[in-house]
Amino acid sequence: MTNSLRPNGDRRAPLPPAQSPADGVPSPRSPLSTQKKQNGKQRDAFFDNAKYLAIVLVAMGHAWEPLKSDSRILEAAYQVVYAFHMPAFILISGYFSRSFDMRPDRLKRLITGVAVPYIIFETAYPLFKRVIDNDPHQEISLLDPWYLTWFLVALFIWRLTTPIWNLVRWPLPLALGLAMLATVTPEIGDDLDLQRVLQFLPFFVLGLVMKPEHFHMVRRRSVRIASVPVFAVALAFSWWAVPRMNTAWFYHRDAAQELGAPWWTGPVMVLAMFGCSLVLTACFFAWVPRRHMWFTALGAGTLYGYLLHGFLVKAGDYQGWFEASWLHRPAGEILVTVLAAAVVTALCTKPVQRGFRFAMEPKMEWAFKKDAAQLARERQSGERREREREKVNA
């Protein structure tokens, strides 16, 4: 007869098995999903393809920025791309964060895969400017995200709040409400780029509440066909809007008052741009290949391409590479576009990942305590091996 307080008698109670990593907990080799297999399931090539194509669009947009003022067509394409490339990336990030909780192993991966790279690159970018731009007074501040590092801050905050969004009854309306309030609150300031964190939040929360069937819906042939005229209309409207609309609205980093607009335009623009971004994101997903492509494996290295290509863009800005007059003509713009796509593709490859793993995926076991369950599992495993060894010797 066993003691009710010790149902296993003198034997230790069996420990729960170690669990597999959470979907969407970032590591640099796979910022938005895990590697080859997860929970016995093969990776979906669609999402790796989407992440790669989105990061290519990000790099192309950054390369167009110094050139777009001389071309209304390029400015229109720039606005269309900026309307959906980061929303698509963020939505996928939210989708693969649905199971995130405060389990120690997932928090460790969040720290080593997001927080530590943020500290490293937030320091590296200003140091790079000091050297390349001959600006020894450039400050280093962990509170003011530099260039591309805002996304790491946002991802860290969004992931930490995921349990809250999974708990509340109407997460998306609540996220939209916070984004609308942010656009009328210039007092938020620039610390941790909280304007962007809040204004892009609805896309992350939307990803959290999405289900696989939602992605299957936008991958239908009818949606793919309809997306062609939708993109054509978006480009035409953007061409018309170039002299009439402030491009800064697409960056989601300022309140309405800071853009010289009446306060009420902030909430209106949040809803309008959220709707437009969703339509264009659906059109983008409709054309993402579902099968394994030559670039599918690069989708697991998009964080490398994202953070590293910024150094080349900034070097070109500091050194005046984009000032050549021939680059501001159609042939030059096409060349810059192709080079941007090629460079970010190279930066997503395995050799680059191996070379920069120390910054993107630091091994920091020394920095964390081992949780009691893990220690007990290791102790049980050691005892089991010892018993097996004794049986063999006997």
Alpha-carbon dihedral angle through residues 265, 266, 270, 272, given to the nearest 10 degrees: 10
Confirm whether 280 is domain-assigned.
yes
Query: 182: which 2 tokens?
Result: 């942010």
Segment 122-165, tens digit of pLDDT? 999 999 999 999 988 889 989 989 889 999 999 999 999 999 99
Query: Are the CB atoms for 51 and 302 separated by under 8 Å?
Result: yes
Confirm whether 28 is domain-assigned.
no
Confirm whether 226 is domain-assigned.
yes
* Residue 219: φ, ψ to 5°: -95, 10
- Residue 184: per-residue pLDDT: 95
Considering only 27-36, 111-120, 262-271, which range has the smallest mean pLDDT?
27-36
Residue 260 makes CB contacts below 8 A (sequence gap 6+) with 246
Confirm whether 14 is domain-assigned.
no
Segment 58-111, tens digit of pLDDT? 999 999 999 998 899 999 999 999 999 999 999 999 999 998 988 888 899 999
Question: What is the residue whose two structure tokens read 């943020």?
Answer: 118
Q: pLDDT class for 242, splitting at 50, 70, 90?
A: very high
CA 101/CA 163 separation, integer angstroms: 6
Containing domain of residue 176, as a range? 45-361
Q: pLDDT class for 42, splitting at 50, 70, 90?
A: low
- Residue 3: per-residue pLDDT: 41
Confirm whether 289 is domain-assigned.
yes
Q: Please count the structural domains in the chain.
A: 1
Confirm whether 216 is domain-assigned.
yes
DSSP code of residue 111: I
Counting Cα atoms < 13 Å in the Cβ hemisphere of 117 gives 30
* Alpha-carbon separation of residue 169 from 176, 261, 282 (angstroms): 14, 33, 25
Does residue 386 surpass a pLDDT of 80?
A: no
Measured between its terminal Cα atoms, the distance across the chain in Å is 32
Q: pLDDT class for 223, splitting at 50, 70, 90?
A: very high
Confirm whether 38 is domain-assigned.
no
Confirm whether 11 is domain-assigned.
no
